[in-house]
Structure 1
Amino acid sequence: MKHSSHKTYSYKDVIDSPEGLADSIAEILACPVTIEDANHHIVSYSKHEKNVDNARTATIMRRKVPEHVINGLWKQGSMAKLFESDEPIVVHKIDTIGLGDRLAISVRKDNEILGFIWAQTNDLSVTSGHLEEMKEAAQSVSHHLLRQQAKKKKTDENSKDFFWQLLTGSLKNPAEIKRMAKKYHMNLQGQLCVAVFEFTEEMSQAVERHAYYLTETLHQTRIVHRIFDGQQLILLFRTDNKEDANEMKQAFIREFTQKMKERLHFEDLKGAFGLVYDSPTLISDSYKQALKVLELKEQYSTGLHHVDNYQDLGVYQFINELAALQKKENYKNDALTHLKTYDECQNSMLLETLKVFLEKNSNVHQAAAHMHIHTNTLNYRLKRIKEIGNIDFKDVNQKTMLYLDLLIYENEQEDL
């Protein structure tokens, strides 16, 4: 172990070289060192390769910390400590993720995390001297990461207008889109779709940073661009084929919402995806569709509780347009009007019974179980529904219209 008084050079001597930074720290600590940005992408790693573990090898090969390693560090509690404090911490080996002993510290500017330094200590006995060296190293690394971050922020700020042009559809010229995408290093080749997450909790810089952090660290994602708009996080995804895109959408929403719940205790976070397109000129359509899913999930929370993909909305895709048309034409479904009148007079539940029966695809046993009633009771109600509403349950067209009108009617009642 080389202490400060025995250094052959200082960190400041190599501040313009991230590779030199990692090598300098590794020489002083006498162990392999990795410097990461705030989203666990490698900034620099030392050439000290003696007895490296699987986690370090995989990180260097991918230029990014594998997701299972990040997850393991969160579960073990180390990542939470690094987020909460600027003091170095000792991380004991975690065999399940191939991680050996580590000495780690978060690199900060005030309260903002810029990155992390990880030293693979192996059998080295960590002393107070090591801890002080890590703190000094973090100060020097922060200067480099600040400059790197400033360049990235400038690029991100300049690309925001272009991203909004894509989202709103105000830019449709393919040649101009290609030129702008090249300028801002945005890969718009392949399959593209937009996701929107809506937060109900109070937004803060810390929440935004953690949301950005997750979008970068979930390994299956290829996020072209992202932006916060009020309570919404808007993401543009890219994959090489449609099959991957559909699998990715489901996995990402599940992982993102689950980790926000685990780490920030966000219980009510809604996410939605638009359709996948192979042209950047259609990004605005995907964005509108994602917004529509969120809007409909709010309106029809019971029926759409588990739906997050525009493709899976089914008849709900056009429910509001149909409701507006019905209102314009003063349309009323006579069968539902008669059943509503009967329910009000007899204090019965025929309308609710009809809706459950139709939702269960006319399956008597499933509908009865859902309503916690006997099948004989349900059959009696269905007989009364047929008589009062003059309904033929063998008529698919009539059943479809009844179901749509019931959805519209229930939504109107909630708005009263």
Structure 2
Amino acid sequence: MSESIQTPFQDFFDTPEGLADRIAEVLGFPVTIEDANHRIVSYSKHEKHVDDARSATIMQRKVPDHVVNGLWKQGVMSQLFETSEPIIVDSIEHIGLSNRLAIAVRKHNDILGFIWAQSNDTPVTPEHLQQMKDAAQMVSQHLLRQQAKKRKTEENQKEFFWQLLSGTLRHESEILHHAKRFDLQLAGPLCVVVFAFPEDMSHSIERHANYLTKTMHQSKVISRLFDDNQLVLLLNTKDTLHAPTVVQGFIRDFIQKMKERFVMEEMAGVYGLLYRSPEYIRDSYRQALKVLELKEQFPHPLADITGYEELGVYQFINELAALQKREQYRNEKLERIKQYDIDNRTSLYETLKTFLMQNSNVHQAAAQMHIHTNTLNYRLKRIKEIGNIDFKNPNQKTMLYLDILTEQTE
């Protein structure tokens, strides 16, 4: 019978604190063990010459955001994600990080956590590298035990999230009863955020997206799930007055970071209305999906829109179009202008559309069409005559605008 291979860390498996101390003793460097979201699992004690990044990490029980961001910008995190070997990290002064030896703790391709050893000015030897690999194997076993406990909870939590999104759970008392089982804080303002990727997500993209949602701190991500090419999140923001701005910032930063790490220009992020009661999570989800649908339908006017509340009349444009179709409605003023264009080979309908889309601003509309303002004013005069249109009548002008929009849904 072959003997099992012993490592210097074998006797310290059951205690993460003891394991960190033992790794530090073997390497001769201060050591920090983190989970995949940069929260401290354990750290070695009684060290000297600790740098600012390590001190702040220990104080906060997690790696500070500016340190994580700096590591990504320097390509350190990308290296750790892509290799199972230890890497040598040169000092990064502006984030308070001295020389490091680091390794990602893995189970196959999945990142379980990280080990960081502060090497300072001590040369890293091949023996150090092997010791880090041995340490990663032992830490992997500990983190896997932690994950096994979490996995069942996360699966049940995902089921609970689907129940909220689908409206299966509708009453607040029932929702809060289930939320308590998972220690989820559903006090508002709450909203659903949906990120749509250009295609079904690869394991690598899903892994990075999941990592980002757990390490960005503008808003608290309560629940998350992947659905085909979409990442669906339930967000809780603390600041009621500026909550939409906070959500927009979260979406903007997430997309920017994903684009920095992957080439994906068509990625979109949207959100539904914010509610103070979990009863309306289903509505926020449906609204977010509607924003995605309308952005695809009206890509240019809605290019910069992320939230349902920003849609304005576009919220109801498809419903209005369906009603008009049912009633065989046609705007006679627009029909006369379109017929005039056909008979005379003019473009008065497009002129009117651009004018209304530019909020009746003659200078902006003329610039959009690359014509002189005098030319535009002449065309508007002809439009008023042909269509019997009064541009000073807000009701009439609003109806023209809506009818032009609904025609784009056909």
Same fold (TM over 0.5): yes
TM-score normalized with structure 2 length: 0.95
* Other-structure match for 2:3: none
Offset at residue 100 of structure 1 (A): 1.3
Where 1:242 maps in the other structure, the secondary structure is: coil
* Other-structure match for 1:109: 107
* Other-structure match for 1:339: 337
1:192 to 190, 193, 197: 190
* Other-structure match for 2:301: 303
Percent of matched pairs sharing the same residue: 63
* Other-structure match for 1:256: 254
Q: 1:23·1:48 contact (CA, 8 Å) conserved in 2?
A: no
Offset at residue 161 of structure 1 (A): 1.8
- Amino acid of the residue matched to residue 115 of structure 2? I
Q: Aligned equivalents of 2:353 and 2:49: distance in 1?
A: 66
* Other-structure match for 1:4: none
Offset at residue 398 of structure 1 (A): 1.0
Judging changes above 3 Å, is the alpha-carbon distance between structure 1 residues 152 and 392 closer, same or farther for their aligned structure 2 residues?
same
Judging changes above 3 Å, is the alpha-carbon distance between structure 1 residues 244 and 394 closer, same or farther for their aligned structure 2 residues?
closer
Q: Aligned equivalents of 1:179 and 1:167: distance in 2?
A: 17
- Amino acid of the residue matched to residue 148 of structure 2? A
Residue by residue over 1:19-68, the C-alpha shift from the partner in whole angstroms, topping out at 9 and shown as x without a partner, is 22211111212222111122222222222442222222222233222222
Is 1:273 aligned to residue 271 of structure 2? yes
* Other-structure match for 1:94: 92
* Other-structure match for 1:177: 175
* Other-structure match for 1:219: 217
Which runs of 5 or more residues in structure 1 are unaligned? 1-6
Q: Aligned equivalents of 2:257 and 2:387: distance in 1?
A: 49
- Amino acid of the residue matched to residue 65 of structure 2? E
Residue by residue over 1:143-181, the C-alpha shift from the partner in whole angstroms, topping out at 9 and shown as x without a partner, is 111111222221111112211111112212322222211
TM-score normalized with structure 1 length: 0.94
- Amino acid of the residue matched to residue 374 of structure 2? N
Q: 2:196·2:229 contact (CA, 8 Å) conserved in 1?
A: yes
Moved more, 47-56 or 291-300: 47-56
* Other-structure match for 1:328: 326
Offset at residue 334 of structure 1 (A): 0.9
- Amino acid of the residue matched to residue 407 of structure 1? L
Where 1:411 maps in the other structure, the secondary structure is: coil
- Amino acid of the residue matched to residue 219 of structure 2? T
* Other-structure match for 1:79: 77
Where 2:77 maps in the other structure, the secondary structure is: helix
Across the aligned residues of Structure 1 and Structure 2, the Cα RMSD in angstroms comes to: 1.5
Q: 1:273·1:290 contact (CA, 8 Å) conserved in 2?
A: yes
* Other-structure match for 1:240: 238
Q: 1:343·1:349 contact (CA, 8 Å) conserved in 2?
A: yes
- Amino acid of the residue matched to residue 172 of structure 1? R
Offset at residue 83 of structure 1 (A): 1.1
Offset at residue 219 of structure 1 (A): 2.4
- Amino acid of the residue matched to residue 376 of structure 2? L
* Other-structure match for 2:54: 56
Is 1:385 aligned to residue 406 of structure 2? no
Q: Aligned equivalents of 1:228 and 1:48: distance in 2?
A: 43
- Amino acid of the residue matched to residue 297 of structure 2? Q
Q: 1:201·1:266 contact (CA, 8 Å) conserved in 2?
A: no
Offset at residue 200 of structure 1 (A): 1.5
* Other-structure match for 1:119: 117
Q: 2:270·2:306 contact (CA, 8 Å) conserved in 1?
A: yes
Offset at residue 244 of structure 1 (A): 4.4
Q: 2:196·2:268 contact (CA, 8 Å) conserved in 1?
A: yes
Q: Aligned equivalents of 1:17 and 1:347: distance in 2?
A: 83
Q: Aligned equivalents of 1:46 and 1:346: distance in 2?
A: 84
Q: Aligned equivalents of 1:178 and 1:287: distance in 2?
A: 18
Offset at residue 89 of structure 1 (A): 0.7
Superposed structure 1 runs of 4+ greater than 3 Å apart: none
Judging changes above 3 Å, is the alpha-carbon distance between structure 1 residues 63 and 343 closer, same or farther for their aligned structure 2 residues?
farther
* Other-structure match for 2:155: 157
* Other-structure match for 1:38: 36
Name the count of aligned residue pairs: 405
